[in-house]
Structure 1
Amino acid sequence: MTIQTPPDPSAADLAKHLPQAITKYLRESDPQHKANAHDLLAAFATNATVVDDGKTYTGHDEIHRWRENEASQYTYTVELSHVEKLDDDRYVVTTHLEGDFPGGVVDLLYRFTLADDLITMLEIAP
């Protein structure tokens, strides 16, 4: 089921359709937000897996190192552009990034899988 989005929806309008764990992840991973590693990890199950840029990170320690590296590597802005609920436990979130990374502009898909109100799997891909 696609969540219909009005023209020029605000991030708040789109985010209100998301479970708390996903909203928390998006807020804590936004480079404009003063990230708190504890709050970010609280969105994930302890044995969660993240797949990003062809690499897999499992568990809080690896996910924390991944986010610390990602957050310090480039400067960029993030705009939430689309939300899709696949079923009660799976969501796809599209974001638009602009910054000083190679290419400078990219739309990313974040595929979230949840269990017990926590992220158990996050796959990030263009």
Structure 2
Amino acid sequence: MTTPTSIATTDLPATVRDYLAAHTARDTDAALAAFAPTAVVVDDGHTYRGTDEVRGFLADAGSEFTYTTDLVAAQRVDADRWTATLHLEGDFPGGVIDLVYRFVLADDRIAELVIAP
């Protein structure tokens, strides 16, 4: 088993940084461009597969709330797996949460993304 290594958030792969910036800006098209056509996203107990479902996830995720997002930590698990921890504060239930975004990359695109506390 590979031990994750903490890295500067600026050292995340460009694909991950671009996705996070686009998703925070709620730019669905730019965020979707980071994903492979067969990508899988798992968030809040739901699984989204392929371009159409991932687009729907990106368009709807968190849209009912107002919140701020800060990228607070990053790790390199191995050559293809990375994590990013985002701190959110807003008007959602509980008001504060740290979410870990677990990325699997393939050919410089996001093949899998799992989001969980």
Asked if 1:94 corresponds to 2:85, the answer is yes
Paired with 2:27 and 2:54, the residues of 1 have a C-alpha distance of 13
In the TM superposition, residue 71 of structure 1 has moved relative to its aligned partner by 4.3
Structure 1 residue runs of 5 or longer lacking an equivalent are 6-13
Q: Map of 1:1-126 to 2, 5 A cutoff?
A: 1-4=4-7, 14=9, 16-30=10-24, 33=25, 35-126=26-117
Between Structure 1 and Structure 2, which shows a larger proportion of strand residues? 2
Q: TM-score, normalised by structure 2?
A: 0.91
Cα deviation per residue 1:41-81 (whole Å; 9 max; x = unaligned)? 11000000000001000111111111111142111100111
Structure 2 residue runs of 5 or longer lacking an equivalent are none
Stretches of 4+ aligned residues off by more than 3 angstroms: none
RMSD of equivalent CA atoms: 1.2
- Sequence identity (%): 47
Aligned length: 114
